[in-house]
Structure 1
Amino acid sequence: MTTGRRDLLTDVRGLLVGHHHVLDRDVTVATESDVGTGSATGCTVVLTTVGTTAAVDVRGGGPGTRETDLLDPSHSVQQVDAILLTGGSAYGLAAADGVMRWSEEHGRGVPMGRAGYVVPIVPGAVVFDLPVGDWAVRPTAEFGYLAADAAAEDFALGSVGAGTAARAGVLKGGVGSASVVIESGPAAGVTVSALMVCNPVGSVFDPSTGMLWGQGFVGSAPTPAEVAAAATLTDKDTSLNTTIGVVATDAPLTAAGCRRLAVAAHDGLARAVRPAHSPLDGDTIFALATAMATVPADDRANPMMAADLRLMDAVCRAVAPVVERAIVKAVLAASPVASIPTYREVFPSVFR
């Protein structure tokens, strides 16, 4: 496999990503004795091309989601118009209304009758970021509309969009993205990509060494003094968290194939965050297939099995490392917000 041209989710043709967030310089984190001040929250929208198949896999014990039941492969609707990833906990799901309004204005959605009416399909998931800043400031429908309107092939990583107030254990989290192109086999030429919002209760680094759990970054070893200092960092004031994301491919997968892709993607999350899928996280990953890549018919297909089994296997093998690397990039790209330390600040010698 080789890294995609941009190393972003949008290396899968037909996908666009947009952020919208608010972030005050004087934002603070709520404590047991005081409320947070300022604003720090946002959302991220993935716009799809027409005909994009989708599925989802929810592994965390405390998810906040919208339209995930609709994505069951046995249900009627097989395609989506957009995916919303948002801060604000369950309140942030209101941002989906703005994404629906934008989609309706652009004629996107399930056609309803002859009058040009459509119902946009916009599943979504949330992270819990309310203690950062004013509890009452959370994404609204306007956030979702503006994020959709800003969607493009190139987009920022780090403390932006849904990752604006994200925290990765004791460190600052954020948005990360990565992609690969499969070079050989039944999926030769197929792209697999991921966009992750990293906000887990678990740790993204090994406390005994300071090195990131996830692969994809090679740096110097932290000093013993840095490792000792990291051990003194106090845990955040809440155990309600979540890592959410979108994985995608241009392979022609069915809804059932997308479901298997979402399942496999969680392996990458579990490699980069420990523990993952806890009762206190709402870990949720959506999977998209745009079917814009041309793949040859499988002349080795077994008539007793799915016709795209070998293609699906190759794509699933690729997705976990991409998710793992997207989470690493989220942590490395994060910038300081509300005095939450970044990995770069805590372990500066890694970047010598």
Structure 2
Amino acid sequence: MHDDITDVPGIRVGHDTNLEAGTGCSVILCDTPAVGGVDVRGGAPATRETDLLHPLCMIDEVNAVLLTGGSAFGLDAASGVVHYLDEHGIGYDSGIARVPIVPGAAIFDLSCGSATIRPDYAAGYHACEQASSGPIELGNVGGGTGATVGKLLGPEFAMKGGLGSASMELLGGIVVGAIVLVNALGDIVDPETQQVVAGTRNIAGKSSGASNPFGNTTIAVIATNATLTKAQVTKVAQMAHDGIAHVIRPAHTMFDGDTVFALATGSNAPEIQQNTATAALQVSTLGAAAANTLARAIVKAVRSASDLHGVPAASSLL
């Protein structure tokens, strides 16, 4: 076990990282189509294909998920992911062509590095080429490259966010994994010590002046090898948001676009029982595990980050 989302069988992760521009993207590839769900809690999301994941909609398979920097501009990277999957014959069989199903979400990282260089088609394609099932690099990598946290008083008081991942193994061989880009308005709190790990800095002799809270969002993917329906995996995504609220304070503000995707690969794991009470208990257990795993991944993200473009990381202030 790597203690990251690639511990879930059939999940691969790849990155495109631009340290000079302070941005990048990360792609979560599903070796076989996964059942997908999503839950959006923040007031300022930048997303792609989230309506498709609603349980009332027809398509119930996902081929990849894009987590990207660049705000709405960065969603262009999804086109590169779609092209890569198309070249490999991967996608929903419409009877005429295989259409790759690639939901995605973006963080606002334009204040760290360059505001004019954002992940694009080539970045998304390159991230797919780099995808592997091995251990995931954390911190200033992929979509978390330009992420920052603690911006309630404005970006000059922020600290470095980043990319984090974690996993948990449950009884019966079920694995739950999380990958997250931590770019929150709020502070990151260690749930064990209740101490702020990274957040708004108190800079001596400086006044906050007018607050500019724009430029946030924490986005994540939860994956499990359990077999779930579209409604059940959506419930797991919903419960996973508790992990965000547990360690990011405040969370889900009007200036955040907090979005959690969930994927169920159904590989090497028993199907959720059809008995209503038993199924509800199993889904609830998965949701609770997803929340705990996501919370741990968020803390790992900021602890793994390093200074970038004048924004200090938690590791440099120890």
Question: Which digits, 9 at most, give the CA deviation of each residue in 1:250-291, with x for residues without a partner?
Answer: 010111111000001000000110000000000000000000
Question: What is the deviation of 1:311?
Answer: 1.9
Q: Does the 8 Å contact 1:17/1:47 carry over to 2?
A: yes
Matches within 5 A, 1:185-200: 188-200=172-184
Deviations 1:20-56 (A, max 9, x none): 02112xxxxxxxxxxxxxx111000000122310000
Residue 163 of structure 1, CA deviation: 0.4
Q: Is the 8 A contact 1:252 1:293 kept in 2?
A: no
Q: Percent identity between the aligned chains? A: 43
What residue identity is the alignment partner of 1:181?
E
CA distance in 1, matches of 2:288, 2:95: 41
Rounded to whole Å, the distance in 2 between the matches of 1:21 and 1:297 is 38
Within-5 A mapping of 1:260-271:
260-271=235-246
Matched residue, 1:11:
7
Shift of 1:237: 5.1
1:231 to 193, 197, 202: 202
Partner of 1:42: 24
How many Å separate the matches in 1 of 2:224 and 2:281? 15
Tell me, yes or no, if structure 1 residue 23 matches structure 2 residue 19.
yes
1:345 is matched with 316
Query: Aligned partners of 2:223, 2:88: CA distance in 1, in Å?
Result: 23
Change (3 A) 1:171 1:214: farther
Match of 1:163 in 2: 144
Equivalent residue, structure 2, for 1:29 = none
Shift, 1:296, TM fit: 7.0
Consecutive unaligned residues in structure 1, runs of 5 or more? 25-38, 205-211
Partner Cα separation in structure 2 for residue 230 and residue 41 of structure 1: 22
> Which one of the candidate residues 144, 153, 156 is aligned to 2:124?
144
Task: Flag the structure with larger Rg.
Answer: 1
Instruction: Indicate the structure with greater strand content.
Output: 2
Aligned partner of 2:191: which letter? Answer: G
Q: Distance in 2 between matches of 1:237 and 1:341?
A: 19
Asked if 1 retains the 8 angstrom alpha-carbon contact of 2:159 and 2:201, the reply is no
Aligned to 1:100: 82
The residue type paired with residue 203 of structure 1 is: D
Q: Which residue of 2 aligns with 1:32?
A: none
Question: Are 2:190 and 1:213 aligned?
Answer: yes
1:1-352 equivalence runs, <5 A: 5-24=1-20, 39-113=21-95, 117-154=97-134, 155-169=136-150, 170-183=158-171, 188-204=172-188, 212-215=189-192, 230-232=201-203, 238-295=213-270, 298=273, 302=275, 305=276, 308-346=279-317, 348=318
* Mapped contact 1:213–1:273 kept (Cα < 8 A): no
How far apart in 2 are the matches of 1:62 and 1:297? Answer: 34
2-structure distance, mates of 1:342, 1:237: 20
Q: What's the offset of the Cα at 1:12?
A: 0.6
- The 3 A distance-change label for structure 1 pair 165 and 237 is farther
TM-score (structure 1 length as normaliser): 0.82
- Letter of the 1:124 partner, please give it: G
1: CA distance, partners of 2:81 / 2:27: 8
Cα gap change, 1:59/1:118 in structure 2, threshold over 3 Å: closer, same or farther? same
Q: Structure 1 residues 296 and 20, CA, compared in 2 at 3 Å: closer, same or farther?
A: closer
Instruction: Determine the C-alpha separation between the residues in 1 that align with 2:149 and 2:143.
Output: 13
Q: Which amino acid aligns with 2:126?
A: L
CA distance in 2, matches of 1:311, 1:73: 19
CA distance 1:306–1:65, change in 2 (3 Å)? farther
* Letter in structure 2 aligned against 1:9: I
TM-score (norm 2): 0.90
Residue 93 of structure 1, CA deviation: 0.5
